[in-house]
Every structure is written in structure tokens, then in C-alpha cells.
Structure 1
Amino acid sequence: MSQTRLSPGIVSGRLTPDELAANFTDVAPPLAPHEARVAADRCYFCHDAPCITACPTGIDIPLFIRQIATGTPDAAAMTIFHANILGGMCARVCPTENLCEGACVRMDAEAEPVRIGALQRYATDGLMAQQGHPFRRADPTGKRIAVVGAGPAGLSCAHRLAAKGHDVTIFDARGKPGGLNEYGIASYKTVDGFAQAEVEWLMGIGGITIETRKALGRDLTLESLQNDFDAVFLGIGLGAVNALRAEGEGFRNVQDAVDFIGDLRQCGDLLSLPIGRDVVVIGGGMTAVDAAVQARLLGAENVTMVYRRTRDQMGASQHEQDHAASKGVRIITGAAPVAVIGDDDHAEAVEFAYTAVVEGQVHLTENRFRLKADQVFKAIGQRLEKPLDALKLTGSGKIAVTGPGRTSIERVWAGGDCAAGGDDLTVTAVAEGRDAAEDIDARLMGRPVEIPG
């Protein structure tokens, strides 16, 4: 088996084709019809269901589960899609243990919730596999909306606007639509090209045009979009990774975790993807887990995640932490990088300081340790790649919004990771894009609207 050496210790082809195929199979295989009926029968169909409140998109979960239980999964899928048009992806990537399943009343009695995520996937996959799109457009309004960013927020906004009869053009900086669904999620969570299949299915409603490799600030300006369209929605995400602010982070084998995940997602042959023998991932969120687990699945012998705060403060859910541990990833908490040690432009180790959290602030102690590393991935959060001077930003560097995504500029809305408020989840982005679309439609069609809260 050939190996391509890009830098010392980082090689491709660490595992055989069969090993790689087994490692990157669907992490949560779909339910069979009988399994779905059995899982649905466990639901209490609560009248004041806490699972609905816990869902950022407010899906009527008891209703769709009852529809599965009574043998009408297509109706269940429509219940889901009316609230969350990306329900198929969310069924795969949502931290359900922290959201709907975490709120399930079954947890009180059995510590085993109804399998809401799996049931959602069962229903949505079934309907999406059928011919045609289940939604129809309203009569054309003549209004044109620009959506910048083809991620979850942008796609959700575009679909809702198209359904109301508006014409939508989506601009995206990358070569494929999908945003983080396509480039930023572990491939074992969305196998068989599901992200692109979902985009194609969503586009089936009509009235939406996608133009790729069109970036705001490079190929487009906010002013030109305002002149050419009746409204603009920004779902541009966060394209830049925060710096470690540690000596030596410029070594060639210190990489952004999101770039690694994106490269893996777009790689046609996993045998050609290089990985180190000793990998260190700095960060404690979902991206850190996805990078660490996939490094192990590619054949890295030692993979360690290091997070500066305590384990219960990690952004990754307990389920994700357990999954990482089950794949052999070591998790160290209460430590922060102070230097990357290397030679000849290549990292060889990372020096960490143990931390102490005092009144919410992280402080470095004098206690140090080193981890051997021939590959280092940064997963310490992202920021706007090119701040938009015309827009008001928050102190954290995100676009300031009020109500359903209204920015400081008339006829410009924003949602998803680039906008302030909410958590950086696919399902939250979908909700924000959907709600902004409703507000845009009301504004364009002359209906009175009020800013919530």
C-alpha cells in the first residue's frame, strides 16, 4: 500500500480499504419499519410535551410519533418538514440528548428516552425517497430575495420564501451548497452524500437558484445586493478559526480542525488522506470531537483532546464525549496550550499549562506538561472571516440582530452562526432562517409585523 508523506509522521494509507470502509459506516443506522413502530409505542404523547419546548424549531414531536405509530409515516414527515425543512439532517446531527430526548418524560422513570431522533430520520428519509417535492409554491409575488450562504440558515430561509411565491437567489462562497452540513460535520454521521441529496430535494420546490463560488466582500457587495434585490438574508457562517495565541502555532502541521473535516468530507479516496501517528486536538466542542474521532478512524494511534475548562463545560454533549472515548480518544480537561514545540517548521509536541477557573475566568498555573504531536488540530471556535463594516456587530464579533434576524440595515436580515444569539447548532440555524423568512415575507407583502421580546 502506497503512502504519501507530507511531513514527518503524517502519512496516508495507515489502514486498509476494508478497515476504512468499516470505520466510516453510518454511526446510527436507520430504523426498520417494525423497529420504528416499537420505538413510537414508547411515547406517552404528552399534552404539554416538554420535548416540543426543547426543540429550537418547535416540531410537534408527539404528533409525528403518533402518526408513525398509526402507520402514516409520510404524514409524520410532513409534520416535521412544516417546522424544520432540514429535518432529515437534524435527525442525524442534533444533540438530541441535550434537546428533545433530554427533556423526554421517559427519562424520569427509565433514564431511557423515546428515540425521537431515530424516529424523525425514519419518517423524513421515507418521504424524501419518493418522487417529487411535497411542498408547492404559492403564486409568484414578483419579489426577489438574495440569500448569502447556502448553509442550514440560508437553505431554510430560501425554502420558506420560495414556498410563499418569492424568487430566491442563493450565493455561496464554496463550490458546493450545504455549508457546515456539507463541509463541517463528521462523515460517519451523514453517509452516502446525504447533505447534497438533501439540498437537491429542497430545491425541488422551485423558485430557488444557487450560484456557487460567490463570496461576500470578494465577488458581491452588500450595497449591490440591496440595489438588485428586494431583501437580503445573510447566513454566511463563521469562516475564520480563532488563534491559539501560543508560540509555534504557525508550524505546517498545525491545522484548523474545520479544514481537516472539510477535506475529509470532500475526499474521494480515504486512502489518500494523510493523518499523523500522534494527534492532538485543542478544543472541547462538537468540531473537536468530530476531528478527534475521525483522526482515530483514519488510523492515528494516539489522539488526545485537550480542553481548558472542566468536562461538564465542554461544548460537546456527553453522548459525543462518550463516543469519542469509545473510539480511543483521550480527553484531558483543565489545560490550555502555551507553546507548540517543533523543528524545521514541523510541530513535534505541544506544551500545556494546567488551568484554574476563578470567577468564571480561566487562569494558567505553573504546572506544565507536554504531549507528543506530529499533527495538531485547532478547534477553539470561529469568528467572522471578514467583518462587514456597514453592519452593527456585537462585542463577540457577530452580526447584531433584533427579533427575527433584523440587522441594523433596512431590508437586511441575518441568521445562523454569523448572527448573535442562540447556540451554534444546525437546528438553531434552521429556526433562525425560517423565522427571518416569515418576517421578510410580512415586510415585503405589507403586513404589519412586530419584533418579539
Structure 2
Amino acid sequence: MAQGHQASGIQAGRLAASDIAENFADLHPAYETHEAMVAADRCYFCHDAPCMTACPTSIDIPQFIREIQGGHPESAARTILDQNILGGMCARVCPTETLCEQVCVREVAEGKPVEIGRLQRYATDALMACGVHPFDRAEPTGKRIAVVGAGPAGLSAAHRLAMLGHDVELFEGQPKAGGLNEFGIAAYKSTNDFAAAEVDWLLQIGGITVTYGKTLGGDLNLEQLKSDYDAVFLSIGLGGVNALRAEGEDLAGVADAVDFIAKLRQSDDLSTLPVGRDVVVIGGGMTAVDAAVQSKLLGAENVTIAYRRDQSAMGASRFEQDLAATKGVKLMFNVMPKAVLGTNSAEEVELERTEIKEGRVTGTGETLRLKADQVFKAIGQTLEGQPEAVELSGGKIKVDAQGKTSVSGVWAGGDCASGGEDLTVTAVAEGRDAAMDIHQSLMG
């Protein structure tokens, strides 16, 4: 048993470093070549491939699997990356079980789909290992575009614009590019600093200059950007976190799940990362699951996800829910936080049972308490730093199907923009499509 394991409160070193390293190993290990061949042989290469329709980036899945089957993983990667330049990360983090693999004919007929995500990783990893960027820039257009935010949407837009011959200035508030791929995804989904390696590889296209420490509403002003550049693409994400609106929210031990995940992702030694003995995560999305599972993997004894609706309404996929359960996380449904209790720091969480009346969550008056020395808030994020001139819809930047905002010359995509799911793959598609529309608008 790790030293200090019996101590109460939030602390580091609940498990030995070797145990933590094993816990945070790759969730889906990469295929060996013979495994990829066997997996590819299961594909029917459907003419009207439902998997391709289910992919937000419309990757030609039968084509790339056929190329793997023929022994050409680099060609398969080119097919993938032509539609999704962050295909390597998407292969790791996409909820394929609710997208391409869910509609796979093999899944429908046999309950076991072709493992499209792992095949995609096999191909993209093979190409990146060659150290060669598969795309070339077009002749320079003389146009300059500002991209604000170096998350999936911003990187996707920047790469496509650069490939089309434009010069791109990419502004990022964090000290690293990647957005949620770098700071917001569970460490066991993206190992060995893959997010950073993918960014470095993407930038090999040329024509993209990255400036760090610059944020919209801080160092950057939209009117000035419009004046200085031929077009602007906003991919600023969602920087704010919703409040619990519960008594005791300001007690020590109560934290934002996104901050916890970011610290974990940037840690050089996970055995030094403090975690509670009794952890409660409030929320029902992917962030809640990632925070809960990683708390357990760091050595928390009791971890509970408390969600205000029933299981079917959870934002996290059933695969993610089952993953949490297999790691020892308890899932509670139809409960909402009433208060965090403790003298100076969190000791308990009081929850109220809920029911749904006319589509709204309503408390029943029945309450219960859970021990909790650490409480994570994972109840959604909000837009921060939005320019006043841009019209909003549902708390996000309002865009049309091409990503145009209400302001001429300004496009937006990713989590900050209205429409679409908050997924890496969706953000990539939105960045790519906005880039194409910017190109058309500038070039006529």
C-alpha cells in the first residue's frame, strides 16, 4: 500500500507510480499489422456505406480499409486525412461506438462491428511515423487569415487554408496548441504526448504562424483583426464553467472537472497529482466520466457520478458509462446537488432526488448524503470572451451551415459555435468547411 494511503483528504501518492502507469496505459492499444489485416478483412466494403454517412467528416471508410487490406496503410491515411486532418486523434477519441461503428453492417448483423477507429489509428500512425507530410501548399494567394483558437476547429481550418495557398496567423491563449485534444481528454485516450506530436506534424504544411498567449477580448480585438486580415475564423471554445448554484460551492475541495483534467494531462508525474479518498463528480457528460475514471485510476477509493436525469439522458455514451462502471465508478441517476457540507473543506455532498415533470428536472424533496472530500463540477461550459458585435444563439456564436457569423468577414466553428455536437470530429469538419467557404469568398 502506498505511503500515506490511509490519510484523509486530498493527497498525492495514493498508489505506487508503477500502478498509476499501468492504470493510464493506452485504452485501445494500437494494432499490429497482422491484427489490422484480420480486422480489415471483416469489412464488406458497402457501396452505400452507412459508416461513411455517420462520420461527421465523411471519411471514405470502405476505401481506406481496402487500402489497408492491400498493404498500403500510408495511402489509407491519405484518404482519411484528406477529409479529417486530425484523423490520428479522432481515431483515439471519437465515440465510434455511437457513430461509424454503430451503423456498421457487421454490428447490425452480428453485434460486433469492424473496428474502424483502430484501423484508422493504424493507418494514420503508419503515415506519421514516416515523418512526411502528405499535402503540398498551392501557389500563394497573397491573402492573410487570422484564426483565433488552436483547438481542433482552428487547426483544421488553418491547415486547409494554408494548403489552399493562404497565409495563416493562428492565435492561441494557452502555451500549447491542441485545445481539448491537449488539455481536455482523458490521459489514457491520448498517450505519449500524441496531441502535441500531431500538431507539430500538421504544421509541416507550412504557411501557418502560431502566436501563443493571445486571447479574444484580451490581447485581440475583433475589429482590429478584421482590419488587419482578409478573413477571421473564431474557434475560441468554451472557457467558462457553469456553477453548481449550491450552498458550500466555494469550500476547499470543490473544483472544476476541466481544470482537474487539464492538470492531469500536463503532469509529468501522475503520482504527484493529489486526489481525494471520496470523490463525487456532478454531471453526466464525457468530462464527468473522464474526471471520475481518472480519479479512480489515481487511487480514489470511492468515486461517484451524480447525474440529475436518468441514464438514457446522459451525454456520455453507453460505452463510456460502462467503462466507468468497470473501473469501479458508481453511477447515480436522478439526483442533483443541494449543498456541499464541511467546516473548512468538503466533507459531504447533499443530493436531492429528482423527477422529470413536463420535461424539466424537479426536486422531490427527498435527500441523501455522500461522503466527499473532493467534488468536481462537470455540468457544462459557457462561452467566454465573445465579441459583442457577433450574434449569439443559445449562448454560442450563431453561424450558418458554412460557419459564417452575423459579422461580415468572420466565421466560427467548434464548441463556441451553434449547431453540431461538441466532438473533436465535428469541430474538425466545421473548421474544414469554414475554410473552404472562406477560400471561395476570397477567391471568387
Identify whether the pair has TM-score above 0.5, normalized to the shorter chain: yes
Closer/same/farther in 2, CA of residues 118 and 366 from structure 1, 3 Å limit: same
Alpha-carbon distance in 1 for matches of 2:413, 2:5: 41
* Contact 1:25/1:191, CA 8 A, preserved across alignment: yes
Are 2:363 and 1:364 aligned?
yes
1:255 corresponds in structure 2 to 255
* Contact 1:4/1:272, CA 8 A, preserved across alignment: no
Closer/same/farther in 2, CA of residues 4 and 411 from structure 1, 3 Å limit: farther
1:402 corresponds in structure 2 to 400
Aligned length: 443
Paired residue type of 2:437 = D
Per-residue deviation, residues 50-101 of structure 1 (Å, max 9, x unmatched): 1011000000101111111111111110000000000000000000000000
Alpha-carbon distance in 2 for matches of 1:219, 1:108: 52
Alpha-carbon distance in 1 for matches of 2:8, 2:364: 32
The alpha carbon displacement at 1:387 in A equals 3.3
Closer/same/farther in 2, CA of residues 187 and 174 from structure 1, 3 Å limit: same
- Between the aligned residues of both structures, percent identity stands at 65
Alpha-carbon distance in 2 for matches of 1:422, 1:316: 16
What SS does the aligned partner of 2:18 have? helix
Q: TM-score normalized by structure 1?
A: 0.96
The alpha carbon displacement at 1:4 in A equals 12
What SS does the aligned partner of 2:130 have? coil
What SS does the aligned partner of 1:343 have? coil
Per-residue deviation, residues 283-307 of structure 1 (Å, max 9, x unmatched): 1111101000000010000000011
1:282 corresponds in structure 2 to 282
Per-residue deviation, residues 155-189 of structure 1 (Å, max 9, x unmatched): 00000000000000110110100000000000110
Alpha-carbon distance in 1 for matches of 2:205, 2:131: 12
The alpha carbon displacement at 1:435 in A equals 0.2
Are 2:269 and 1:264 aligned?
no
1:451 corresponds in structure 2 to none
Are 2:419 and 1:421 aligned?
yes
Paired residue type of 2:286 = M
Alpha-carbon distance in 1 for matches of 2:231, 2:5: 49
Pairwise CA RMSD: 1.3
Per-residue deviation, residues 213-245 of structure 1 (Å, max 9, x unmatched): 111111111111111110000000000011111
The alpha carbon displacement at 1:143 in A equals 0.4
Are 2:34 and 1:34 aligned?
yes
- What are the residue-to-residue correspondences of 1:36-185 with 2, within 5 Å? 36-185=36-185
Alpha-carbon distance in 1 for matches of 2:366, 2:342: 21
Alpha-carbon distance in 2 for matches of 1:150, 1:3: 40
Unaligned runs of 5+ in 2: none
2:391 corresponds in structure 1 to 392
Per-residue deviation, residues 132-170 of structure 1 (Å, max 9, x unmatched): 211000000010000000000000000000000000011
Choose which of 398, 410, 413 in structure 2 pairs with 1:412: 410
Closer/same/farther in 2, CA of residues 4 and 238 from structure 1, 3 Å limit: farther
* Contact 1:4/1:274, CA 8 A, preserved across alignment: no
Q: TM-score normalized by structure 2?
A: 0.98
Moved over 2 A (4+): 1-5
Alpha-carbon distance in 2 for matches of 1:279, 1:386: 31
2:443 corresponds in structure 1 to 445
What SS does the aligned partner of 2:98 have? coil
1:225 corresponds in structure 2 to 225
The alpha carbon displacement at 1:8 in A equals 5.9
Unaligned runs of 5+ in 1: 447-453
2:335 corresponds in structure 1 to 335
Report the more deviating stretch, 325-334 or 246-255: 246-255
What SS does the aligned partner of 2:96 have? coil
- What are the residue-to-residue correspondences of 1:306-345 with 2, within 5 Å? 306-344=306-344
What SS does the aligned partner of 2:339 have? strand
